[in-house]
Chains A and B, each alone.
Chain A
Amino acid sequence: AQSVAQPEDQVNVAEGNPLTVKCTYSVSGNPYLFWYVQYPNRGLQFLLKYITGDNLVKGSYGFEAEFNKSQTSFHLKKPSALVSDSALYFCAVRDIQQGNNRLAFGKGNQVVVIP
Chain B
Amino acid sequence: NAGVTQTPKFQVLKTGQSMTLQCAQDMNHNSMYWYRQDPGMGLRLIYYSASEGTTDKGEVPNGYNVSRLNKREFSLRLESAAPSQTSVYFCASSVGGATDTQYFGPGTRLTVL
**A residues within 8 Å of B by Cβ?**
9, 32, 34, 36, 41-46, 49, 51, 90, 94, 96, 100-103, 105-108
On chain B, the residues within 8 Å of A107 by CB distance are 40-42
A101 to B100, CA, bound (A): 8
Shortest Cβ distance from B6 into A: residue:
A43
A-B contact sample (14 more), CB < 8 A, given A43-B4, A51-B99: A32-B98, A34-B101, A43-B105, A43-B107, A44-B43, A44-B92, A44-B104, A46-B103, A96-B98, A101-B31, A102-B45, A102-B58, A105-B44, A107-B40
A102 to B58, CA, bound (A): 8
Shortest Cβ distance from A45 into B: residue:
B104
- Which of A43, A94, A101 has a CB less than 8 Å from the CB of B104? A43
Q: Which 5 pairs show the lowest CB-CB distances between chains A and B?
A: A43-B104, A107-B42, A105-B43, A105-B42, A44-B104
A45 to B92, CA, bound (A): 11
Shortest Cβ distance from B38 into A: residue:
A107
Determine if A102 and B48 form an interchain contact, defined as CB atoms under 8 angstroms apart: yes
Given A43-B105, A43-B107, A44-B104: A101 and B97 within 8 A (CB)?
yes
A56 to B25, CA, bound (A): 31
On chain A, the residues within 8 Å of B105 by CB distance are 43
Determine if B42 and A106 form an interchain contact, defined as CB atoms under 8 angstroms apart: yes
Determine if A103 and B102 form an interchain contact, defined as CB atoms under 8 angstroms apart: yes
Q: How far is the CB of A24 from chain B (nearest CB, A)?
A: 14
Q: How far is the CB of B45 from chain A (nearest CB, A)?
A: 6
A97 to B31, CA, bound (A): 19
Determine if B41 and A49 form an interchain contact, defined as CB atoms under 8 angstroms apart: no
On chain B, the residues within 8 Å of A41 by CB distance are 107
